[in-house]
């Protein structure tokens, strides 16, 4: 696919963050280890918590002090209250969240003792967040300084939100779904992990070999035409690439208890700081610390910090005043 020319950001004064995305209830089961195919294991606990990539990112941004609005849908079932509980307590504006017939979205999450997780998502009400539904919130989306999108609602809804945005579009393409080139080109930044980057490149440049490294994946996405890219790397931090160059951003070293939702914490924190006027690198430096904070507790939204919480610091081995490292351009 050939990328179209991305539209410039509006010069109009815009404020806050609007997240257009999924709202789920998370059924979280803990196990000693993940089962093999066909194997039955005895779990150690199960709890239902609020989740969904969109809701997670909205909560993460709001708890850090951003003004946040949410566009999405919940169902007419008992899970709806669980799914929105922390959104409400974080003071996220839910006036654009519709209640529709059918179930609320559900994520079935299994967390092993080493902190690694597997997730199966059942969209439920999230599948109704199409172009028409998103269009009903056109004014809210157009007034946001940052519009945050993910891959857990229909592609038509994501594309509509990107078209309506006059501020900065943060596209976290997780999971990787088929999107039109204009939507991907609108991203500033596109946020993916290493697996998602490889899948997206296969979609954008079919027939090419997979990237041999994270740096190569970032370079190829930029070469395709993405304005800026943030590649998240878990404990290794992130790679940030835009017109100013490509930098590795180090992450604090922490003991991970549960990695589920850490990427959403990163996206929410980065979006909050971009809306506050930080540069992409400044926002990423804060976001890796928020992600590191989140993996130290179980669950997604319950693990996210509030403004004023003490975040883990990048260790002295990365340098007292330097949390980024230049990456040479891929030839």
For residue 74, report the phi and psi dihedrals to the nearest 5 degrees. -125, 165
Rg (CA), the chain: 19
d(CA 300, CA 303): 6
Burial class (CB in 10 A: 0-12, 13-18, 19+), 331: exposed
Q: Pull the structure tokens for residue 320.
A: 């007292």
Strands 68-75 and 45-51: unpaired
Active site residues: 264
Burial code (b: 16+ CB inside 10 Å, e: under 16) for 271-291 equals: bbbbbbebebbebbbbbbbbb
């Amino acid at each position: 696919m050939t990328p179209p020319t991305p539209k410039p950001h509006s010069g109009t004064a815009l404020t806050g963050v609007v997240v257009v995305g999924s709202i789920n209830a998370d059924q979280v089961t803990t196990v000693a280890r993940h089962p093999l195919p066909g194997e039955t294991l005895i779990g150690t606990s199960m709890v239902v918590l609020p989740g969904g990539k969109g809701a997670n990112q909205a909560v993460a941004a709001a708890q850090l002090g951003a003004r946040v609005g949410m566009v999405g849908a919940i169902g007419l079932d008992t899970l709806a209250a669980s799914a929105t509980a922390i959104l409400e307590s974080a003071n996220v504006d839910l006036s654009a969240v519709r209640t529709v017939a059918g179930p609320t979205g559900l994520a079935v999450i299994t967390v092993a003792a080493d902190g690694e997780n597997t997730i199966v998502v059942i969209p439920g009400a999230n599948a109704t967040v199409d172009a028409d539904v998103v269009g009903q919130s056109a004014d809210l989306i157009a007034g946001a300084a940052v519009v945050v999108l993910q891959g857990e609602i229909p592609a038509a809804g994501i594309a509509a939100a990107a078209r309506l945005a006059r501020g900065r579009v943060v596209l976290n393409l997780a999971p990787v779904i088929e999107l039109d080139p204009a939507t991907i080109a609108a991203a500033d930044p596109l946020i993916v992990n290493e697996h998602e980057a490889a899948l997206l490149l296969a979609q954008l440049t079919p027939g090419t070999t997979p990237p041999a490294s994270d740096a190569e994946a970032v370079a190829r996405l930029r070469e395709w035409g993405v304005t800026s890219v943030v590649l998240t790397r878990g404990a290794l931090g992130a790679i940030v690439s835009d017109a100013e160059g490509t930098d590795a951003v180090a992450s604090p070293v922490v003991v991970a208890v549960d990695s589920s939702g850490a990427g959403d914490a990163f996206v929410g924190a980065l979006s909050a700081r971009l809306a506050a006027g930080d540069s992409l690198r400044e926002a990423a430096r804060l976001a890796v610390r928020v992600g590191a904070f989140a993996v130290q507790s179980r669950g997604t939204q319950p693990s996210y910090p509030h403004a004023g919480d003490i975040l883990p610091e990048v260790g002295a081995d990365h340098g007292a005043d330097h949390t980024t490292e230049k990456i040479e351009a891929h030839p």
